[in-house]
Structure formats: C-alpha cells, structure tokens
Copies of this chain bind each other. A is one copy, B any other.
Amino acid sequence: MDRRQEILEAAAKSFSLFGYKATTMDQVAKIANVGKGTIYTFFTNKEELFNAIVLKMIEEMRAASDLVAVEGGTFELNVHARLMQLLKFRKTHQLYAKLIDEEKELRTPAVTEVLAQIEREIVSYVKLKIERAVGRGELKPCNSELIAYLLFKSYLALIVDWEKTHDMELTEEQIATLLSDTIFKSLLR
C-alpha cells in the first residue's frame, strides 16, 4: 500500500484516539511503519496532516448527510434530517467527539480553528440549500445567511445544549415539531 495512505490512516487513528495535542509525529510514524521524515515528504507539518484528516472527516459527514436527504423532499424535511444527522456526529464520530473534548479541556488553537471551520461550512451549506429552495419558489426570499445561522444555532441549542441543563434529552419528534411550527413555517412561500 502506498506510504501516503498508510500515513493518513495512522494519523486518523491516532488523532481519533488521543486528539491533536497528544498525538506525536513519532507516534504516527511508528503506527504507519514509516520513518518520521517520510511524513514530511507528504505533509509540510503536523497541522497540515491534521487538516487533511479533518477534511476526510468533513467528507464523511457530507456523505452521511446526503444519505438521509430525500431526493425531491421538502426543504424542511431535508434540512431537518441533515442537521440532525450532522449534529449527532458530535457524539458518534470518534474523532469529532475527541476534538470537541480537547477544545473544552485544552483549547488547542488548531482544534478550535478546525471546529469553527466545520460550523462555518455547515451554516454555509444550509444557506445554499435555502437559496436553492427560494430559487425554485418553495421558500419566500429572505436573508439566507441569517436564517441559516438561526437554524443551525437552534438545532445546536436543542440537541447539544439542552441536555446539559435538563436531565431529559429532547426527542427528535419534539425538535421537529417545535421548529416546524416556528422557523420552518415562516419560511414557506
């Protein structure tokens, strides 16, 4: 198998298991059965290797989100399913969960940056979906950036924040109904 691939797999494993700060380049080299110098022929530094791994994760997330979207489904149906899926990754996906933990505990700058980037991408993806739906006449024209932001933050609040202060987690049903009656409804043409 080619060395670049070995390195990527080793790095993915190590970052998922130990996070960014606690994985060392020696560690990655050893797992990949490669001299440390070899890593630097493919990636300029640790952070770039990390970014490559995160990029792969983002691809996975995009694919998982596509999997729950229904061709020809309504804007609401699809955006709801996608955001639920994407936000579940925070607990489910080993690397994502590890990074969130590292952000909370260590505040590693590289990790903070990457997590912010992921959120920006999700919001900008939702924004795109809104604009498409407006374009085909499903939704009223609106400030898509603002609505995308509000939608994302609402899901984040209901899925992630709620359970930190309340002991019963909200059901998907509750979330769907609540946002359907409020934000989504108001967007319809």
Q: Which residues of A contact B (CB under 8 A)?
A: 116, 120, 143, 145-147, 149-150, 153-154, 157-158, 161-162, 165-166, 170, 174, 178, 181-183, 185-186
Which of B153, B162, B165, B182 is in CB contact (< 8 Å) with A161? B153
* In-complex Cβ contact of A165 among B116, B150, B166, B178 (8 A): B116
**Inter-chain contacts of A153 with B (CB < 8 A):** 153-154, 157, 161
| Interface residues of chain A: helix, strand, loop or mixed (majority) | helix
Nearest CB in chain B: distance from A10 CB, A: 33
Residues of B within 8 A of A120 (CB): 165
Supply 9 further A-B pairs (C-beta < 8 A) apart from A143-B174, A153-B153, A157-B157.
Answer: A143-B178, A145-B166, A146-B174, A149-B157, A150-B158, A150-B178, A182-B182, A182-B183, A186-B186
Most B Cβ at <10 Å: residue of A120, A161, A183, A185:
A183
> Which residue on B lies nearest to A140, using beta carbons?
B181
* A125–B113 alpha-carbon span in the complex (Å): 35
In the assembled complex, which residues on chain B have CB atoms less than 8 Å from the CB atom of A143?
174, 178
User: B116 near A178 (CB under 8 angstroms)?
Assistant: no
Measured CB to CB, the nearest residue on chain B to A145 is: B166
Pairwise interchain contact B146-A150, C-beta atoms closer than 8 A: no
Checking B116, B149, B162, B181 against A149 with a beta-carbon cut-off of 8 angstroms, the contacting residue is B162
Bound complex: CA of A59 vs CA of B154, how far in Å?
A: 29
Listed A/B pairs (9) with beta-carbon separation below 8 Å: A143-B174, A146-B174, A150-B157, A150-B182, A153-B153, A153-B154, A181-B186, A182-B182, A186-B186
* A142–B165 alpha-carbon span in the complex (Å): 20
